[in-house]
């Protein structure tokens, strides 16, 4: 136990040094024992992994790839340029080269891009001894245990759990041990893959081509990793940060990823400032309004983010689209109205207790209700429209929703103040 803890600490320290010291990154990596390099490479971020892969000597890179599963080796090679990728492929063992070449033909953003090709195909009428022989042959050739896919009349009918080979009699047919396996088209998107695993929880699915032939296996672990990446991408999208950015990036690289988004937000901030400027006379006359303006905008932004998060998740789970948005919009508007009344009442009490200004308390309470309704409206509709336009609803909707709650929130607050306080 103590040795495992120390080993993990050493690995974490090494990852930290490789991540934050690019000038010594390659040297540190090559100092790691050959048998540990593959494991280390898989723990690094995509950007750092690519940086190492393009600099590692070809012989060392081939040795690392040989210790990886074919799907992981394929992911690594996809980070390289076409010319170097081809050179590395030529030096891989025949078995790995054959499987990796097959995987490289598929779009990495589809089900085929997630699949593993460690499987064997057997006939439903085969005997246990025959299947066991094929199983051992694959393991001896590749060093990996295959999934046993069972065919009947050249069509996939299920799979045989490997442990059943140890329970069945050598001359017994495998028919009684066959288990059902779900399938998915090779061209299915990652969203479709995750939706299938959510709808039908299981440990694996078979990937089939257009003819219905099995061409690979997707494991639940791969889907879990995919879902974690999608969740991280959504979080980055909300913040306007590129999914490629990591904590180890240099200041220059961080600026590259962020400056465009910040400029867009600056433009929307000027729009909000322009809106406030329209009511300069009112603010000059009632200076106390300036004190409470941030409350209106801040509460609207918070409420919109809540609605946006729920709707984006609904879109990801295919629970809602633009055509079926009415019920959700109605409920969000209802929640926005009630929350507006609650928070409006609270802020009005604070204004009365602190400043004894009933008129401003009324203005702030009404503006709160209006802006939370605006937040509900735009937080629901905008991501659905963006999704309809095939844009990422998490990242692309945020700037429009923030602009709406700021501009309309200030307009409601200061417009009401101009009318009521006049």
Residue 133 contacts residue 140 (beta carbons within 8 Å)? no
**What is the sign of the dihedral through the CA atoms of 374, 375, 377 and 383?**
positive
CATH topology match: 119-223 vs 251-420: no
Token pair 């409350």: residue: 295
Per-residue confidence (pLDDT) for residue 207, from 0 to 100: 92
Q: Which CATH number fits domain 2-105: 1.25.60, 1.10.10, 3.40.50, 1.10.150?
A: 1.25.60
pLDDT mean for each 10 residues of the chain (422 residues): 68 84 89 88 86 92 90 90 90 88 87 88 91 89 86 89 86 90 90 81 86 88 73 56 61 76 81 88 88 88 88 79 89 95 94 92 94 94 87 74 89 92 77
- 3-state DSSP call for residue 50? helix
Token pair 């081939």: residue: 62
Phi, psi of 109 (to 5 degrees): -95, 15
- Tokens matching residue 414: 């200061």
By 3-state DSSP, what share of the chain in percent is helix, strand and coil, each rounded to 5?
70, 10, 20
CA neighbours closer than 13 Å in the CB half-sphere of residue 273: 6
Per-residue confidence (pLDDT) for residue 297, from 0 to 100: 86
- Measured CA to CA, the distance from residue 134 to residue 162 in angstroms comes to 12
CATH architecture observed for domain 251-420 = Orthogonal Bundle (1.10)
Residue 121 contacts residue 78 (beta carbons within 8 Å)? no
Per-residue confidence (pLDDT) for residue 236, from 0 to 100: 55
Those residues whose C-beta lies under 8 Å from the C-beta of residue 412, and which sit 6 or more positions away, are 296, 366, 367, 370, 371, 374
Distance in angstroms between the alpha carbons of the first and the last residue of the chain:
75
Of residues 275, 281, 265, 290, the one with CA closest to residue 410: 275
CATH number of 119-223: 3.10.580.10
Residue 19 contacts residue 44 (beta carbons within 8 Å)? yes
Residue 321 contacts residue 382 (beta carbons within 8 Å)? no
147-152 and 155-160 beta bridge pairing: antiparallel
Residue ranges covered by each domain of the chain:
2-105, 119-223, 251-420
Per-residue confidence (pLDDT) for residue 47, from 0 to 100: 84
């Amino acid at each position: 136990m103590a040795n495992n803890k120390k080993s993990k600490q050493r690995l974490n320290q090494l990852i930290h040094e490789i991540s934050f010291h690019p000038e010594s990154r390659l040297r540190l990596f090559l100092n790691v024992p050959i048998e540990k390099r593959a494991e280390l490479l898989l723990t690094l971020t995509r950007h750092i992994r690519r940086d190492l892969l393009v600099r590692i000597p070809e012989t060392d890179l081939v040795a690392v790839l040989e210790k990886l599963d074919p799907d992981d080796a394929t992911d690594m090679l996809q980070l390289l340029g076409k010319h170097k990728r081809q050179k590395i492929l030529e030096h891989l063992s025949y078995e790995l080269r054959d499987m990796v070449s097959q995987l490289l033909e598929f779009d990495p953003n589809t089900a085929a891009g997630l699949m593993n090709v460690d499987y064997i195909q057997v006939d439903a009428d085969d005997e246990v001894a025959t299947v066991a022989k094929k199983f051992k042959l694959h393991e001896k050739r590749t060093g990996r245990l295959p999934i046993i896919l069972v065919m009947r009349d050249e069509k996939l009918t299920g799979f045989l759990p490997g442990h059943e080979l140890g329970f069945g009699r050598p001359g017994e047919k495998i028919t009684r041990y066959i288990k059902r396996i779900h399938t998915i088209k090779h061209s299915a998107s990652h969203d479709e893959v995750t939706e299938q695993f959510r709808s039908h929880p299981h440990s694996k699915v078979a990937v089939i081509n257009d003819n219905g032939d099995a061409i690979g296996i997707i494991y639940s672990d791969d889907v879990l990793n995919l879902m974690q990446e999608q969740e991280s991408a959504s979080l980055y999208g909300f913040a306007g940060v590129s999914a490629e950015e990591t904590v180890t990036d240099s200041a220059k690289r961080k600026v590259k990823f962020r400056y465009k988004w910040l400029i867009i937000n600056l433009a929307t901030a000027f729009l909000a400032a322009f809106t406030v400027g329209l009511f300069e006379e009112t603010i000059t006359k009632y200076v106390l309004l300036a004190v409470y303006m941030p409350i209106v905008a801040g509460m609207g932004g918070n409420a919109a983010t809540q609605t946006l998060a729920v709707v984006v998740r609904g879109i990801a789970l295919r629970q809602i689209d633009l055509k079926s948005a009415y019920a959700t919009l109605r409920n969000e508007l209802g929640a926005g109205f009630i929350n507006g009344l609650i928070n409006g009442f609270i802020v009005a009490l604070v204004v009365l207790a602190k400043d004894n200004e009933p008129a401003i308390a009324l203005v702030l309470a009404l503006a709160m209700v209006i802006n939370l309704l605006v937040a509900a409206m735009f937080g629901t509709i905008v991501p659905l429209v963006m999704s309809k336009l095939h844009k990422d609803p998490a990242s692309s909707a945020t700037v429009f929703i923030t602009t709406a709650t700021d501009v309309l929130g200030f307009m409601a607050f200061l417009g009401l103040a101009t009318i009521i306080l006049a």
